Structure 1
Amino acid sequence: MNFADLGLSDELLRAVETSGYTQPTAIQAAAIPSVLMMRDLIGIAQTGTGKTASFVLPMIDILAHGRSRARMPRSLILEPTRELAAQVAENFEKYGKNHKLSMALLIGGVQMGDQVKALEKGVDVLIATPGRLMDLFGRGKILLTGCELLVIDEADRMLDMGFIPDIEEICTKLPKNRQTLLFSATMPPPIKKLADRFLSNPKTIEVARPASTNANITQALVPTTTRGKRDVLTTLLGQDEVANAIIFCNRKTTVRDLNKALRQSGFRSGEIHGDMEQPQRIAELDLFKSGAINILVASDVAARGLDIKGVSHVFNYDAPWHPDDYVHRIGRTGRAGATGTAYTLITAEDAENIENIEKLTGQSIPRLEVAPAGRAPRRETGREDTREDRPARPRRGSAARSEAPAAPTEAAAAPVETSTDAPRADRARRDDRAPRPDRDARAPRDERSQRPDRAARPARDDRPRRAPDIDAPDDGGWNGPVPSFLNQKLGA
């Protein structure tokens, strides 16, 4: 089957042929005829199967008949991210170059004034993210009553990003007799509920099992540690077959830090994440597409739906938290029939996430042991190291003298003169003496005087007597009983 068998116009066929495509993909072959017949459609297809062209191509032929009116777009395409919306706009420009169709792109990060001017002239195709569309609608800059065709793309990602309430509100403002197309890689219950509510007798096209991964992608899990991730990644990136790659991280801070580390290591890398302004993100994508950089470090939100030809490898620097994200991430490679490779770096903490991914995709992902090349094994602590592993440190003072060559064996028995600076061995022997008994456990004074070691000592009558612990009271020569208050004071 070729595109001419799908019922597309000659002008559109020439544009497709100029773009280098001759045969439609499975989702295109199944969806395009139904869309041309003005039927509602649910398309379930894994990412990278060409589903964007499956609605862009028939829309161009449908919208070729008619004219637009000011602030009333004739069709609306909802996308979850700015990057994916921009790529859909590129598809319209590429395939619609032989048609006189007007188009507007409503995305965040771009000045609103130019977008409002385009709407005032009237557009045939409006491509928008839900947030910017609701903003302009609330300002009264756009009317949706003339919209004949609605496309909800990446519906499962819309769900993850919390856009479903906005989509429901947008659908209520559109004409009820419109044509609605919904595309998604997976079909969770909330998306099924959305389709049941806003689609009329839709035709369901499923070209692959939900959440299945592309058979053209070689997958592997690479066990490592948190500290060893960068070394393992550097080893994998150094392989000859890595022409270009997208590296996914779970956090924006990780994206920035990893890109900085890769650049310091000599790699031609760039980054894309949600904190960047739209012009910066577009510039980074252009550098990657042109080959000026061959490594793109990205977050999930920024790279969702990126359609870049010829990506040879995908690296999950962080294992994705949601199983669906794994399918979308690795789908950046192996597109349009090409082959690709996807590595996922995992630690012990990722066991549950990997289990959920394998359960969702219905396959066991093989493990691959990778040893960092060109680096000595990292020592966790110095406790297990021997002294020979460490460079010798110069000794000073008496410690240096103690390391002098030992005397002959006969001299070892010679008496050692006693000095105030006792050798370490003598001090050690003194330290080995039995500890002194606790003062509170000593025998009374008169009992200690009868001990054998005390008795052997010569008497020292000339030694001054120890003063009493307290001053004796002046009793005035009293020979009678000691008063009770004196007994308490004297401890009697």
Structure 2
Amino acid sequence: MPFAELGLSDELLNAVTDAGYTEPTPIQAAAIPSVLMMRDIIGIAQTGTGKTASFVLPMIDILAHGRSRARMPRSLILEPTRELAAQVAENFEKYGVNSNLSMALLIGGVSMGDQLAALEKGVDVLIATPGRLMDLFNRGKIMLNGCSLLVIDEADRMLDMGFIPDIEEICTKLPKQRQTLLFSATMPPPIKKLADKFLENPKMIEVARPASTNINIKQWVVPVAGSTAAKRDRLRQILAQEEVTNAIVFCNRKTTVRELNKTLKQAGFKSGEIHGDMEQAQRIAELDLFKDGHINILVASDVAARGLDIKGVSTVFNFDAPWHPDDYVHRIGRTGRAGATGTAYTFVAPDDDENIANIEKLTGQQIPRLDAPVAVAAPVAEAPAPREERPRRNRRERPAPEAVRNEPVRDEAAHEAVAPVEAPAAPSRAAAPSPMREDRRPERQEREPRRDYRRHQVDDGPDDGWNGPIPAFLNARLVIQP
């Protein structure tokens, strides 16, 4: 089904075509006609399905006729994070290029003066986070009684972040006769209760099973040792693979984000970071660097996990296994978007077994394990052959001491006959060489003491067998009888 069959205006269709889109996604095809008919909507869709455009596009046509008034926005879109709000604003700018709609972004971390100035002029679309909106409302800087269309986006994330009381209070400030659109990746009981309270006869649109993961994403569990160093080594191994063109690496703590980004840079990777302690301008700058390809690895906390629409992310890493199963779905949803394929790796230490079990229970599938790569050279160095199996220099086959003691007693005459032969043998190695050897190889005078020292060191081991004087009877076999 092409966009032209959804009932959108020609001006909007031209903007969609210019943006490079020809056919709607399933959530767009199901939601846009109903929104244009002014129905309340509950949209359940996994991330990366084009959910944002499913309400942005019809809103542009709905608000095309009408006039805005100062401090009284005509429509309101609530987002759980600044990044999501900024992304929705980008969608309005892209698709509303042929319209005269005014828009304001009301988020924390940005100068309030500029936001108030935009509200004073009057806006057709107000995109806000609940905290900043309630702050300005309580100061009397904004009125909500002229808002006829409300969008609650990422409702389950709102629940996780504790915004549901703020959402309920905001809904009571809006006109009762309004259109309400609620979108969420999952539908836990508190969200269903919120929908039952503030939506009238909503149409339920569900394009995927709740909490299911994108089938275009290849998922792996990577068993690692509990130490952070082991996880960093494994991460660098996978990042070095050719198929990893760019990646988002999620951590549970902000301190881990900073430390991991630092070590990746030291290892020569082009990485950046984004977390809650950064100013909004810094976070936007890092995202822009990642989108533009100046950095290809973005280390992030869960502040960036939901809703960020970054095209072409090949790989997602869960450096820390997420504490909440829902976060897993949203983290890996940063790849495999809009029909593309992607890969997600989750590092699992021994203490993370319960977290992975909860994730597999939520998603209804078992994630395959990725075996560690086999080291090639390490085992040779780490497991040398036993000492007695290695060849020894200057060793002669000798019987064990027990064999010497058990040897039958030889004739004393044999002992005496052998003694003159062996007597000069022992001191001959330490003494100066004979004139004949000195003439043939004079350099042996300097090398001889070194060789004797090495021989002594080799034969000095505890397991070299008999190391005493050579028994005379052993040389009896060497006597040549006249």
TM-score w.r.t. structure 1 length?
A: 0.77
Structure 2: how far apart are the matches of 1:177 and 1:324? 33
Out of 232, 235, 245, the position equivalent to 2:234 is 232
Structure 2: how far apart are the matches of 1:374 and 1:336? 40
**Structure with greater helix percent:** 2
State yes or no: 1:169 paired with 2:169. Answer: yes
Structure 2 residue aligned with 1:293: 295
Structure 2: how far apart are the matches of 1:151 and 1:387? 73
Structure 2 residue aligned with 1:201: 201
What's the C-alpha RMSD, in Å, of the aligned pairs?
2.2
In structure 1, runs of 5+ residues without a counterpart are 389-401, 413-492
Q: Say whether the 8 Å CA contact 1:73–1:144 is kept in structure 2.
A: yes
Structure 2 residue aligned with 1:82: 82
Counting only pairs closer than 5 Å after superposition, residues 68-467 of structure 1 correspond to structure 2 as 68-227=68-227, 228-371=230-373, 376=378, 409-410=468-469
Report the AA paired with residue 251 of structure 2.
C
Structure 2: how far apart are the matches of 1:386 and 1:293? 47
Give secondary structure in 2 for the equivalent of 1:30: helix
Structure 2 residue aligned with 1:444: none
Structure 1: how far apart are the matches of 2:469 and 2:331? 78
Residue 90 of structure 1 and its aligned partner are, at CA, apart by: 0.0
Structure 2: how far apart are the matches of 1:375 and 1:11? 65
Report the AA paired with residue 280 of structure 1.
Q
Residue 301 of structure 1 and its aligned partner are, at CA, apart by: 1.8
Percent of aligned positions with the same letter in both sequences?
79
In structure 2, runs of 5+ residues without a counterpart are 388-455, 461-465, 472-482
Residue 305 of structure 1 and its aligned partner are, at CA, apart by: 1.3
Counting only pairs closer than 5 Å after superposition, residues 50-61 of structure 1 correspond to structure 2 as 50-61=50-61
Q: Say whether the 8 Å CA contact 1:232–1:371 is kept in structure 2.
A: no
Q: Say whether the 8 Å CA contact 1:272–1:303 is kept in structure 2.
A: no
Residue 205 of structure 1 and its aligned partner are, at CA, apart by: 0.3
Show CA shifts across 1:129-174 (max 9, x none). Answer: 0000011111111000000100000000000000000000000000
Give secondary structure in 2 for the equivalent of 1:247: strand
Structure 2: how far apart are the matches of 1:5 and 1:184? 26
Structure 2: how far apart are the matches of 1:386 and 1:121? 83
Residue 287 of structure 1 and its aligned partner are, at CA, apart by: 0.2
Give secondary structure in 2 for the equivalent of 1:271: strand
Report the AA paired with residue 338 of structure 2.
A
Give secondary structure in 2 for the equivalent of 1:366: coil
Structure 1: how far apart are the matches of 2:459 and 2:49? 79
Residue 370 of structure 1 and its aligned partner are, at CA, apart by: 2.4
Q: Given the superposition, is the C-alpha separation of residues 60 and 375 from structure 1 closer, same or farther in structure 2, using an over 3 Å criterion?
A: farther
Report the AA paired with residue 233 of structure 2.
D
Q: Given the superposition, is the C-alpha separation of residues 9 and 309 from structure 1 closer, same or farther in structure 2, using an over 3 Å criterion?
A: same
Residue 349 of structure 1 and its aligned partner are, at CA, apart by: 0.8
Residue 246 of structure 1 and its aligned partner are, at CA, apart by: 0.4
Q: How many residues align?
A: 395
Q: Say whether the 8 Å CA contact 2:226–2:350 is kept in structure 1.
A: no
Structure 2: how far apart are the matches of 1:247 and 1:312? 12
Q: Say whether the 8 Å CA contact 2:305–2:327 is kept in structure 1.
A: no
Q: Say whether the 8 Å CA contact 1:272–1:296 is kept in structure 2.
A: yes
Report the AA paired with residue 96 of structure 1.
G
Q: Given the superposition, is the C-alpha separation of residues 130 and 312 from structure 1 closer, same or farther in structure 2, using an over 3 Å criterion?
A: same
Structure 2 residue aligned with 1:17: 17
Q: Given the superposition, is the C-alpha separation of residues 281 and 376 from structure 1 closer, same or farther in structure 2, using an over 3 Å criterion?
A: farther
Q: Say whether the 8 Å CA contact 1:218–1:340 is kept in structure 2.
A: yes
Report the AA paired with residue 153 of structure 1.
D
Q: Given the superposition, is the C-alpha separation of residues 325 and 374 from structure 1 closer, same or farther in structure 2, using an over 3 Å criterion?
A: farther
Structure 2 residue aligned with 1:28: 28
Q: Say whether the 8 Å CA contact 1:247–1:314 is kept in structure 2.
A: yes
Show CA shifts across 1:57-99 (max 9, x none). Answer: 0000000000100000000000000000000000000000000
Report the AA paired with residue 155 of structure 2.
A
Report the AA paired with residue 22 of structure 2.
T
Structure 2: how far apart are the matches of 1:218 and 1:286? 26
Give secondary structure in 1 for the equivalent of 2:104: strand
Q: Say whether the 8 Å CA contact 2:30–2:205 is kept in structure 1.
A: yes
Q: Say whether the 8 Å CA contact 2:305–2:330 is kept in structure 1.
A: no
Structure 2: how far apart are the matches of 1:168 and 1:76? 14
Residue 347 of structure 1 and its aligned partner are, at CA, apart by: 1.1
Report the AA paired with residue 314 of structure 1.
V
Report the AA paired with residue 338 of structure 1.
A
Q: Say whether the 8 Å CA contact 2:220–2:369 is kept in structure 1.
A: yes
Residue 245 of structure 1 and its aligned partner are, at CA, apart by: 0.5
Residue 374 of structure 1 and its aligned partner are, at CA, apart by: 8.5
Structure 2: how far apart are the matches of 1:121 and 1:313? 43
Runs of 4+ in 1 over 3 A off after TM superposition: 372-377, 384-388, 402-408
Larger radius of gyration: 1
Structure 2: how far apart are the matches of 1:371 and 1:215? 26
Structure 2: how far apart are the matches of 1:403 and 1:288? 61
Show CA shifts across 1:248-298 (max 9, x none). Answer: 001101100100010000000000000000000000000000000000000
Structure 1: how far apart are the matches of 2:37 and 2:81? 29
Q: Given the superposition, is the C-alpha separation of residues 403 and 303 from structure 1 closer, same or farther in structure 2, using an over 3 Å criterion?
A: same
Residue 237 of structure 1 and its aligned partner are, at CA, apart by: 0.5
Q: Say whether the 8 Å CA contact 1:235–1:372 is kept in structure 2.
A: no
